[in-house]
Amino acid sequence: MSIRPACSTWLAIALLVLTGTARADLAPASAGVTLNWTGCGISRHAYMDDLAKLYEERTGVKINISGGGATKGIRDVASGETDIGGTSRLKLPNEGAEEHATLVPVAWDALAVIVHPDNPLNDVTLDQLQDIFLGRITNWKELGGDGACE
């Protein structure tokens, strides 16, 4: 996969923003410096491998890429085990292992919510959808449904 020049420049800037909180001692970047990125496999395969290569070509800074998932990306940054994390989700509320991670959104993913035609709900707001994914809403009754899915 290749990234168009304009997109790769934007992603390199985004990467630089993310590294700023993890390794402030990197300004200016120099050859021989290595950073570690851990995170979401989708991000890794979609753009991080190419982005890391481009970033090294432009700055001399090598980025080691490892997967492990969105949770690992957040928690490894929070614990200091890695420099940069990639995640496709928010931090979990009341999760101590994620408490010290700072998430900086650099892009949004597309998400479509599809329900069975027999579902009695006519509308779900974005706030309600977020509450479902965060575990704050756990029963259809909370959205006006019949509560059959508990």
| Tally of residues, the chain | 150
Reading the block at residue 41, the tokens are 């496999």
Q: For 2-84, where are the alpha helices, taking DSSP H only?
A: 5-22, 41-43, 49-59, 70-79
Kindly report whether the peptide bond that precedes residue 28 is cis, defined as omega within 30 degrees of 0: yes
Instruction: Kindly report whether the global pTM for this prediction surpasses the value 0.85.
Output: no
Domains of the chain listed by start with CATH number = 5-98 (3.40.190.10), 111-150 (no CATH)
pLDDT in single tens digits along all 150 residues of the chain: 434 444 444 444 444 444 444 444 444 546 688 999 999 888 888 888 999 999 999 999 999 999 999 999 999 999 999 999 998 888 888 889 998 888 888 777 677 788 788 888 888 888 998 888 888 898 888 988 876 655
Tokens of 128: 């309600």
**Alpha-carbon gap, residue 53 to 37, rounded angstroms:** 13
140, two tokens: 């259809």
